[in-house]
């Protein structure tokens, strides 16, 4: 059974593996998983992801692959071989690319001798894009329509779920059913600073809208006591789950 704690993913947006590892050590046992993203991976490669998986901590590798299917298959195999629990690709890379990502993840898990592959998630429309940006790029439809259209495509291509803003979560849950995984960033507890996030929601609102996992960065990583900040969010999730 998934507990409230399992649903909390902390974004380790640290420039060095060392800084990410120190944060993870403070949070071990308090959260469900750790997200390693492009900044850290570009700086130090798989060092932090390997540190975490070697301690049996769950990792969401947030590298948002978008390339030809052959390249994405190979990159996904390598990501899965790191032992990560979740990874992602852009849905706009198309059906064949998403199918290749899943095949690569399957292959990597087999090479690692694991029974289960990482969850492969799709990024639909970056939350930094508004209607004007989409039109300029030749994408037709309101952002919310495009999000649901691409999420359906991801589902048909055999992916496990999407990364989505809390605002889109209820529509996605309705369109794609209960098993589809929805991971939502842009989470701010009622008491926290908003930082540069615009479309935000509290943990309770995101959970009630149907989020499977929440990604939280600065409200935890910049707190004086990260473990205590995580514990407060976990209890808010618990309450929302009823």
Residue whose Cβ sits closest to ligand C5P: 217
Other beta carbons within 10 Å of 182:
24
Q: Where are the alpha helices (DSSP H) in 112-225?
A: 131-136, 143-156, 166-176, 203-209, 218-221
* Among 135, 198, 209, 208, CA closest to 175: 209
Question: Residue 169: which residues within 8 A CB-CB, separation 6 or more?
Answer: 182, 184, 206, 209, 210, 211
Asked if 171 contacts 148 with a C-beta cutoff of 8 angstroms, the reply is yes
Structure tokens at 23: 């944060």
* Among 164, 174, 160, CA closest to 206: 164
Q: Which of 7, 64, 96, 179 is catalytic?
A: 64
Identity of the residue, 13 or 107, whose beta carbon is nearer to ligand C5P in the bound complex? 13
Identity of the residue, 40 or 81, whose beta carbon is nearer to ligand C5P in the bound complex? 40
Identity of the residue, 105 or 183, whose beta carbon is nearer to ligand C5P in the bound complex? 183
Which residues are at the interface with ligand C5P (CB under 6 A)? 11, 13, 37, 127, 163, 165, 185-186, 195, 197, 215-218
Q: How far is the CB of 115 from ligand C5P (least distance, A)?
A: 29
- Cα(122)–Cα(183) distance, integer angstroms: 10
Q: How far is the CB of 207 from ligand C5P (least distance, A)?
A: 16
Identity of the residue, 102 or 188, whose beta carbon is nearer to ligand C5P in the bound complex? 188
Q: How far is the CB of 89 from ligand C5P (least distance, A)?
A: 14
Q: How far is the CB of 211 from ligand C5P (least distance, A)?
A: 13
- Is 58 one of the annotated active-site residues of the chain? no
User: Which residues form the catalytic set?
Assistant: 64
């Amino acid at each position: 059974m998934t507990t409230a704690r399992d649903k909390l993913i902390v974004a380790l947006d640290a420039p060095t593996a060392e800084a990410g590892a120190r944060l993870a050590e403070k949070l071990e046992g308090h959260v469900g998983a750790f997200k390693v993203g492009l900044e850290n991976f570009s700086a130090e490669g798989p060092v932090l992801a390997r540190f975490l998986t070697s301690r049996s901590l769950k990792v969401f590798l947030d590298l948002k692959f978008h390339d030809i299917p052959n390249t994405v298959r190979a990159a996904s195999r390598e990501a899965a071989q790191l032992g990560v629990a979740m990874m992602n690709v852009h849905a706009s890379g198309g059906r064949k690319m998403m199918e290749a990502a899943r095949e690569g993840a399957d292959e990597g898990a087999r090479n690692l001798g694991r029974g289960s592959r990482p969850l492969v998630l799709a990024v639909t429309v970056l939350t930094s894009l508004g209607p004007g940006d989409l039109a300029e790029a030749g994408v037709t439809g309101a952002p919310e329509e495009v999000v649901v259209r691409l999420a359906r495509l991801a589902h048909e291509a055999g992916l496990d779920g999407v990364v989505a803003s809390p605002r889109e979560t209820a529509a996605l849950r309705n369109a794609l059913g209960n098993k589809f995984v929805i991971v939502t960033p842009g989470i701010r507890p009622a008491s926290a600073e908003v930082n540069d996030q615009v479309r935000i929601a509290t943990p309770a609102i995101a959970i009630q809208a149907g989020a499977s996992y929440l990604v939280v960065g600065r409200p935890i990583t910049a707190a004086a006591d990260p473990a205590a900040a995580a514990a407060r969010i976990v209890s808010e999730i618990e309450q929302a789950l009823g």
